[in-house]
Structure 1
């Protein structure tokens, strides 16, 4: 269960309980860049995801203020990170959730779930409507993701149907039909 406190439209803090204490989530700050890089470098086999975050941060067409969220461990250190950046579906705006990383010592404690919920809530506050993720089909449905193909959305490359997922952000104020077609990622994704 998350407690949600919102002080303004660009900042939201969440607290999620886990066995080791509470996860506090908040928007990434400039001072967090090195810690965020370290999270992804430790969480993944290569440095590609850490480098991807750095490249997205430098891309003004992809980077959206407030949609890079961190989860702090009880000692205040950054334990997890989730990022939403601008992508498009046949020209219509959408968001790409990638990457999501958790330091190995904090995995399976709720840090990842807390930071994903925080970044999705921040997207709702911004009035965003559609989030896409290429991820583990056993993990992301807990947040409401379902196969993107159910919405007529597909990536421009071959992936298993159940791994490419979409989430329509209810209550975000969006209206009209969802875009259908091919996902267009920022160039730094390399796809």
Structure 2
């Protein structure tokens, strides 16, 4: 498996994997596909954190997208989307994408990455409840599902409410 940055030539395959991973029979176009397009089109997506997983045959089997949010005046990254094609799940693809995204964020000297997701899953990658860092999500009901992973450039003074980029307002 190869984890690499998404190029414009990959977008059709990335959309297909995102749709397959998020498949809901009632949705013509899953909201995850529209969200990814809006994040990329609006300049909120971080190209260095827009990653895909490619199998040995060159087939795109997973996708991760990091985008900008903010805590006060500090820009902070979040894992906006993570998806693995159903035929390729339980093979380490998602984990490889999360590790690569965190490594890329750290190499960019970003202080932290946030995610809204399963604490058991993301806890494997060093994410902890955001309240451990003095950071809260936009919805109090998120509880421990709203998590933070501190990176090398983390500064304890970064505290407050994390604000997602505008396209999340339409999800």
Q: Could you tell me the TM-score, scaled by structure 1's length?
A: 0.82
Q: Give 1:175 deviation, angstroms.
A: 5.6
Residues 163 and 73 of structure 1: is their aligned pair in 2 closer, same or farther, counting only changes over 3 Å? same
Name 1:181's counterpart in structure 2: 160
- 1:6-55: CA deviations, max 9, x gaps? xxxxxxxxxxxxxxxxx210011111111111111111135111111111
> Distance in 2 between the 1:40 and 1:158 partners?
28
Aligned length: 165
Structure 2 unaligned runs (5+)?
Answer: none
- 1:116-146: CA deviations, max 9, x gaps? 1111111111111110000011100111000
Name 1:152's counterpart in structure 2: 134
Please provide the CA RMSD for this pair.
1.4
> Distance in 1 between the 2:157 and 2:122 partners?
20
Q: Secondary structure at the match of 1:68?
A: strand
Name 1:67's counterpart in structure 2: 49
Name 1:49's counterpart in structure 2: 32
Q: Could you tell me the TM-score, scaled by structure 2's length?
A: 0.91
Name 1:27's counterpart in structure 2: 5
Q: List structure 1 runs of 4+ shifted beyond 6 angstroms.
A: none
Name 1:10's counterpart in structure 2: none
Q: Secondary structure at the match of 1:108?
A: coil
> Distance in 2 between the 1:83 and 1:131 partners?
12
Counting only pairs closer than 5 Å after superposition, residues 13-24 of structure 1 correspond to structure 2 as 23-24=1-2
Larger helix share, 1 or 2: 2
Structure 1 unaligned runs (5+)?
Answer: 1-22
- The answer to whether the 8 A contact 2:77-2:114 is kept is yes
- The answer to whether the 8 A contact 2:84-2:93 is kept is yes
